[in-house]
Amino acid sequence: MIERTGNLAALASAVLQPGFVGTTPPAWICRWLGEGLGSVVLFARNVVDPAQVAALTATLRAERPDVIVAIDEEAGDVTRIESRLGSSRPGNHALGAVDDPALTEEVARDLGGELAGLGITLDYAPDADVNSNPANPVIGVRSFGAEPDLVARHTAAWVRGLQAGGVAACAKHFPGHGDTRVDSHHDLPRITGDRARLDAVELAPFRAAVAAGVQAVMTGHLLVPALDPELPATLSDRILSGLLRDELGFSGVVVTDAVEMRAVADRYGFAGATVRALAAGADAICIGGERADEGAARELRDAIVAAVVSGELPEERLAEAAKRVGQLAAWTVAARADRPLRTATGAEGSAVGLAAARRALRVTTTPAGRDALPLAAAAYVVEFEPPRNIAIGAETPWGVGAPLADLLPGTTTVRYAEATVPADPTAAAGDRPVVLVVRDLHRHDWMRAAVDRALAARPDAVVVELGVPALVTGAVHVATHGATRAGARAAADLLAGR
């Protein structure tokens, strides 16, 4: 019995993908790697610079050469590897706006080469959601767009590019998080479309990802009654085994979205959701965004072992999951061996990314704004700050004011949230050019009202939209399709006439 329990503990450890705190691996992670842990996931808190990340992953690999090192690096607004500066590559929405799959593949290959050089082998990307609901609070510019065919062709291109760069791709959030008004970090979203709608919209990009050879698929914590009226996708055998495996023909690793997210943890418990997900067909359990300690990992490992002993989780299912994780690990080892590892881009960022961001800019001008660009002098920049999106994180800088000040010295920037915005946000501008910077203007009534007041006072102001440009306003409107460092630099260059 002791020997069986030890074997089960090793299998249970193999299917966990825990995070940790710190810029070097803690002792418990190193110990667990020797005891069967197959994967770890890195977050922004683990990243300082390329040299530090490379040293961190080398330490992990010294404990287990085939360890899967995952990261949630979508490029765009969701960046972990460049969280301190902002992504030097445009995100999905910008690439979708350009709609050149060859460019999308090039950007993803560029990212894959950098991640591989840092020792990262699995990327929780691309986001394959169709952002068909413009009020979506958590997807937005993380999606390639609102059209299923567009999202499908760019999802496939991103998968091909990233994996050509030497890193396994992971399409998410299956079966599709785009048509929601709820963030699954906080509650359980419900997708109300019928099966025909799901086939035509939500599932199209995942079919394309599977056809492109994607190595992993991440589940969404979503209730989809047309597929399973009772259980969220992460915990549903009908969705993971019946739909994803049997119908779509996916044979790679199914990894859950973070299992501590409230959409599932509040209803089924931290450990309960983990056991149910494995029983339903998941192969790897992502944890550690919020619970990043050995106690959390031990709780899940012990719950998995207990579920097998009690018969709640078949041992063959656990063994199958661990085997798939092992197969992905072998793929990552071969991918690293087959490709020369390149040096990381460093603080200067990706030249490929900046060129792509420039192509993604869209400028809408009325007759009144025909002569507004380039700006004639140092500007007064007003940035409106929406509530934090937990998927993006609070640590990543954004905005146009800083790069514009580099080009037009004397440019000043103020930033207002809903509680701090004054009656006239432009009152202190004087006769300087005014730039109003917004993120998803269409989703925030307070921001729209503030911009309306600002434009009433300064109708010559330029509006720069860093989110989804669903609402175009002002005499000159510049859409970057994302709040990235690359997009901000491209917009600043445009405003300054550079």
The predicted-structure confidence for 204-253, as pLDDT tens digits, reads as follows 999 999 999 999 999 999 999 999 999 999 999 999 999 999 999 999 99
* Spatial separation of the C-alpha atoms in residues 100 and 113, rounded to whole Å: 20
Q: Which residues are catalytic?
A: 185, 257
**Residues 285 and 17: beta-carbon distance below 8 Å:** yes
Q: What is the mean pLDDT of residues 109-120?
A: 96
Q: Compute how many other C-beta atoms are within 10 angstroms of the C-beta atom of residue 246.
A: 11
CB-count exposure of residue 337 (10 Å: 0-12, 13-18, 19+):
exposed
The predicted structure's pLDDT at residue 5:
63
Q: Decide if pLDDT at 15 tops 60.
A: yes
Q: Decide if pLDDT at 301 tops 90.
A: yes
CA distances from 12 to 283, 435, 438 (A): 10, 54, 46
Angle between helices 315-338 and 270-280 (to 10 degrees): 80
Q: What is the mean pLDDT of residues 64-91?
A: 96
The predicted structure's pLDDT at residue 496:
97
The predicted structure's pLDDT at residue 389:
77
Q: What is the mean pLDDT of residues 453-479?
A: 97
| Edge-to-edge strand ranges of the sheet holding 122-123 | 39-42, 68-71, 122-123, 168-174, 216-219, 253-255
Tokens 């009656």 sit on residue: 423
The predicted structure's pLDDT at residue 362:
98
**Least-confidence region, from 236-250, 272-286, 394-408, 480-494:** 394-408
The predicted structure's pLDDT at residue 188:
83
pTM above 0.85, yes or no: yes
Q: What is the mean pLDDT of residues 98-107?
A: 98
The predicted structure's pLDDT at residue 289:
78
* Spatial separation of the C-alpha atoms in residues 440 and 242, rounded to whole Å: 37
**Residues 350 and 88: beta-carbon distance below 8 Å:** yes
End-to-end C-alpha distance for the chain, whole angstroms: 71
How confident is the model over 168-183, as pLDDT tens digits? 999 999 999 998 876 6
Tokens 């209803």 sit on residue: 267
Q: Compute how many other C-beta atoms are within 10 angstroms of the C-beta atom of residue 425.
A: 24
The predicted structure's pLDDT at residue 344:
63
Instruction: Provide the mean pLDDT of the chain.
Output: 94
The predicted structure's pLDDT at residue 347:
67
The predicted structure's pLDDT at residue 3:
57
Q: Decide if pLDDT at 432 tops 60.
A: yes
The predicted structure's pLDDT at residue 232:
96
The predicted structure's pLDDT at residue 414:
98
The predicted structure's pLDDT at residue 184:
65
The predicted structure's pLDDT at residue 398:
95
Non-local CB neighbours of 354 within 8 Å, separated by 6+ positions? 88, 486, 489, 490
**Per-residue burial over 122-155, b = 16 or more CB atoms within 10 Å of its CB, e = otherwise:** bbbbbbbbbbbbeebbbbbbbbbbbbbebbbbbb
How confident is the model over 28-43, as pLDDT tens digits? 999 999 999 999 999 9
Tokens 């193999």 sit on residue: 14
How confident is the model over 366-417, as pLDDT tens digits? 999 989 999 999 999 999 999 887 777 767 899 999 999 999 999 999 999 9
**pLDDT confidence band for 195 (50 / 70 / 90):** very high
How confident is the model over 304-356, as pLDDT tens digits? 999 999 999 999 999 999 999 999 999 999 998 877 666 666 667 789 999 99
Q: What is the mean pLDDT of residues 181-197?
A: 82
